[in-house]
Amino acid sequence: MISLSRQVTTLWAKKRSQEGEHYWLPLITHLLDTQNTINWLFNHWFSDGQRQLLAQRSSEENIEKLVKFLGFIHDIGKATPVFQVKRSFDGDSELDIEILEKLFEGGFTGLDELILAAPQESQHARAGEAILDREGVPESITAIVGAHHGKPEEGPQDKQIATYTANYLQRDVGKNSADKKIQENWKQVQKTLFKYGLNLSGYESVDEIPDVNQPEAVLLEGLLIMADWLASSEYLGNDTAVPLFPLISLDQSFEELDMKKRFRNAMMVWYQTGEWVPDQIDTKDDLYKKYWGFNARPVQQIMTKAIAATKDPGVVIIEAPMGLGKTEIALLAAEQLAFKTGQNGLFMGLPTQATTNAMFARVEDWLEVLAKMQDENFSIKLMHGKAEFNEDYRQIPNASNVDDEGAVVINSWFSGKKSILTKFTVGTIDNLLLMGLKQKHLFLKHLGFSDKVVIIDEVHAYDSYMNQYLYKAIEWLGAYHVPLVILSATLPKLKRNALLKAYYKGKYGKHFKKNVIAPIGWQNQQAYPLLSILDDKEIKQITDFNGQSDQKSVELQVKRLQVTDAEVIQTVLQRICNGGIAGIIVNTVKHAQVLAKLVPDDVKLMVLHSAFLATDRVFLEKKLEKTIGKNADRPHKMIVIGTQILEQSLDIDFDVMFTDIAPMDLLLQRAGRLHRHCIKRPKTLERPRLYVMGINEFGDYGSANESIYEKYLLMKTDHFLSDKIQLPNDISSLVQNVYDNNTDKEVDQLIEARDKFNTDLQREEKKAEVFQIDAPNLAVSATDDDMTIHGWLSRGQNHVDTDERKAAAAVRDIQETIEVILVQHLGTGDFLMDGQNLKDCSPIKIAQQVVQIPGAIVPSYKINQVISQLETQTSHYFSDWQDSRWLRGALALPLDKNYLGELAGWKLHYSPILGLSYEKEDDDE
């Protein structure tokens, strides 16, 4: 083994001052810390599936060598004069001088006088790539080192050292023997570190280092970034009493450290949860009874058995009626697929924060059963912008505070960009779509998804723009052999086919038609329920459920309602005159508020949409499920008015429903909240009836509805929507009729609307490509730059902000919005909307009082100006907010005693019944 010279051990990797004391970390210490960490993560944190993927063209032993090499060598770019003369972040010149003196004593002379012309051109990740290129390391590997701070270089760095020689060797040219000696000194130090890393990793020569393909490089990059971040964590979170990899006193040296003990102590502190080891499911047992307390329905039983029969499962698509128990099928499938493919985590993705919150409790309950069965603690993460305000989530204990095993916990180290690395995650679909967005540190997101079974619920709910990101994410899931479970009650066959093809392409390459094995007519399959499985290269479709869907066929009466808003409410009141729960689902918040104002005061009313304070919305969602959910003690008479929130995942049940026109799949989703459970209903409402509003005449659905949904889809829905629908039997045929362009010929006056739909679709697809990563390249080549990760996140002139909220807006193609905290600002003090004085409220409680300002009030060209005004106003009234981690950067919108405020020329009013409403200041009251 190569010995390390004093020069090598004198180089520094980190330095800082604290309360007058000086600390440093020798470079060799950080390299060994990172190597030990990445090797441990590869062997103990990585899933079997991830290891198998990386070893598919080699062996685990060879991949482990490569992993260890990357861990050690990642910061070799710090063994350069350009890095060693860097100043401290806090500007402590005394510390900088002491470090330079240490380097001087170690044999590095002249650094105190070094002035470099372009130090910014050789930051240490890029310098590391250049050094490795000089040593003959394959480009696919050097690119990983160059990208370990989150973004790859555009191309190889083979000209770096020649162009910026002094950055690497302290002198530009060796004019005399002294200059040459200095240059040789740096070359020798770099070569020593390189050879030491080679030998320590198990390589005898650089020629043994393999090339990797693009997906493999992305995973290795993600693992390297994770290991580097972990090995750079001095403490567990903000607790300085719990050290991980701390810096050492400046008077300590590398030789004094017990590196094995240092690493062992750090990992014992950090690794606070167990590894999920899925069992093979015995389909003879009724696990539905075991987990959820009910006997498996026939459809559930048949689907679970079919999934059990797979050999190399990739995609499972479950199409079945609302209320049949698809979530339970999916969670059992997650166990089945994890066992078969070697995965050790789960991601459940849903359309909205509301649906995510509703699902989180169900997944937590399932995970608790698993934790108790295995007698391990499992870590969970709720991933959306308001997760920290979710009471259920906040009550889950921190892993460091739990002594007993068999619990669901939270590990605080997995936060921010590291959140997706948590083994069990429930989040909005944005988290998955972001796999396709060019964004710094994207590697971590890919790493986090590659060890999981991924479940996508309500897959029909995404528009054409979001679908492009969805298909790209699924391609990459295919490249990582990640098993995917997709759920929908109303899935167009074109989308089903596109989902299967995207995964196949990612896993096997482009030749889908040529290599796929599939039953005749699979692309036009309209059976319902339907289970589609991609098992290796074979598509299987299960359509025979022995005639047992376990759901009685129900005839839904449909009536078009062409009346004014006032007449709508009168019709609703007539329908529930003898009692009953009426649901009204409309397409805009404004329409919901207009209708709500027309409801008489003596009729119980609930309104739910996106323009409520976050706290009020969560309260209303829970109250609604308790009031008209399963097994609820239902009121005698009630009207519920809401927007699209009501059509997804909330387990609520209406006796009669009124809805704005929407595309067929969404209309049927709404109808899924009508007579959802078997309960006693008022005699006049015993037959389910759906009233469809907003159809002025065929082809005219009003500007508001047509601005939200494509007129082409509304016209086809209008055409195929009959007066009677048999549920669930008619669901698939109705959805396919609307989304299949072969049925266009059956619909009159469709040409103009269809042309606009196709044009809009092409525009959305093109727009989505702007910020997207490319499809995974599965080839391996030592000469083709396109096969490395070079340029993988290159944006050209396009830029996506690293802010997660802006990134989420980018994958949904929505206007960036402003969130404000509503505060009643009075002469007697400042109060929350519920009357509590801010002085008596905790910062987290104040931070929860947020509402989103509608885009109509603040168009994108005005957003920065309005934010600036709000910032000035907030700092004037609430300057102390900047001292709170919960309130730092928050924007306040003051309201008067009547809950009225002003913003950007609009009058705003907040009501706990109606939410936030607005009108132009010059409008009449």
Return the higher-pLDDT residue of 796 and 328. Answer: 328
Is pLDDT above 70 for 711? yes
Mean pLDDT of the chain: 91
Query: Could you say which of 490, 515, 542 is where a domain stops?
Result: 542
- Using CA atoms, how far residue 254 sits from 190, 211, 468, 491, 900, in Å, is 18, 33, 51, 61, 64
Residue 625 shares a structural domain with residue 518: no
Ramachandran sector of residue 480 (left: φ over 0; alpha: ψ -120 to 50; beta: rest): alpha
Identify the band that residue 551 occupies on the pLDDT scale cut at 50, 70 and 90.
Answer: low
For residue 759, tell me if it sits in a domain: no
- pLDDT at 830 (0 to 100): 93
Identify the band that residue 1 occupies on the pLDDT scale cut at 50, 70 and 90.
Answer: low
Return d(Cα 231, Cα 526) in angstroms, integer: 53
Residue 476 shares a structural domain with residue 599: no
Return d(Cα 896, Cα 824) in angstroms, integer: 6
Q: What confidence tens digit (pLDDT) does each residue in 178-213 have?
A: 888 899 999 999 999 999 999 999 999 999 999 999
Ramachandran sector of residue 183 (left: φ over 0; alpha: ψ -120 to 50; beta: rest): alpha
- pLDDT at 179 (0 to 100): 84
Q: Report percent pLDDT > 90 for the chain.
A: 75
- pLDDT at 804 (0 to 100): 64
For residue 15, tell me if it sits in a domain: yes
- pLDDT at 920 (0 to 100): 85
DSSP string, 594-633: HHHHTS-TTS-EEEE-SSS-HHHHHHHHHHHHHHHBTT--
- pLDDT at 642 (0 to 100): 95
Amino acid at 705: N
Query: Could you say which of 502, 521, 542 is where a domain stops?
Result: 542
Q: Look up the CATH number of the domain holding residue 86.
A: 1.10.3210.30
Q: Look up the CATH number of the domain holding residue 367.
A: 3.40.50.300
Residue 739 shares a structural domain with residue 864: no
Is pLDDT above 70 for 416? yes
Return d(Cα 473, Cα 51) in angstroms, integer: 21
Average pLDDT rounded to a whole number, residues 125-149: 97
- pLDDT at 802 (0 to 100): 53
Domain residues for 400? 298-542
Average pLDDT rounded to a whole number, residues 358-365: 92
For residue 283, tell me if it sits in a domain: no
Contacts 24+ apart (CB under 8 A), 521-524: 523/493, 523/497, 524/493
Q: What confidence tens digit (pLDDT) does each residue in 287-329 have?
A: 899 889 999 999 999 999 999 999 999 999 999 998 889 999 9
Q: What confidence tens digit (pLDDT) does each residue in 600-619 have?
A: 999 999 999 989 998 898 88
Residue 529 shares a structural domain with residue 667: no
- pLDDT at 786 (0 to 100): 67
Average pLDDT rounded to a whole number, residues 60-80: 97
Q: Please, is 450 exposed, middle or buried when counting C-beta atoms within 10 Å of its C-beta (0-12, 13-18, 19+)?
A: buried
For residue 794, tell me if it sits in a domain: no
The answer to whether the beta carbons of residues 821 and 893 sit under 8 Å apart is yes
Average pLDDT rounded to a whole number, residues 717-744: 94
- pLDDT at 791 (0 to 100): 92
For residue 809, tell me if it sits in a domain: no
Helix (H) or strand (E) holding 240: strand 239-243
Is pLDDT above 60 for 75? yes
For residue 647, tell me if it sits in a domain: yes
CA dihedral 856, 858, 860, 866 (to 10 degrees): 180
Is pLDDT above 60 for 871? yes
For residue 765, tell me if it sits in a domain: no
- pLDDT at 925 (0 to 100): 44
Residue 170 shares a structural domain with residue 198: yes
- Cβ atoms < 10 Å from Cβ of 39: 19
Residue 146 shares a structural domain with residue 240: yes
pTM over 0.85: yes
Average pLDDT rounded to a whole number, residues 687-715: 95
Is pLDDT above 50 for 622? yes
Q: For 214, list phi and psi in degrees, rounded to 5.
A: -65, -50
Average pLDDT rounded to a whole number, residues 490-507: 95
Residue 501 shares a structural domain with residue 593: no
The answer to whether the beta carbons of residues 658 and 308 sit under 8 Å apart is no
Return d(Cα 373, Cα 368) in angstroms, integer: 9
- pLDDT at 797 (0 to 100): 43
Residue 345 shares a structural domain with residue 375: yes
Q: What confidence tens digit (pLDDT) does each residue in 417-456 have?
A: 999 999 999 999 999 999 999 999 999 999 999 999 999 9
The answer to whether the beta carbons of residues 217 and 143 sit under 8 Å apart is yes
Contacts of 252 (CB under 8 A, 6+ apart): none
Closest CA to 353 of 393, 326, 314: 393
Buried b (16+ CB within 10 A) or exposed e, 378-403: bbbbbbbebbebbeebeebeebbebe
- pLDDT at 799 (0 to 100): 45
Residue 252 shares a structural domain with residue 326: no
Q: Report percent pLDDT > 70 for the chain.
A: 96
For residue 806, tell me if it sits in a domain: no
Residue 535 shares a structural domain with residue 559: no
- Using CA atoms, how far residue 751 sits from 45, 203, 701, 716, 734, in Å, is 56, 66, 17, 12, 21
Residue 714 shares a structural domain with residue 580: yes
Residue 881 shares a structural domain with residue 841: yes
Domain count of the fold of the chain: 4
Closest CA to 534 of 367, 314, 801: 314
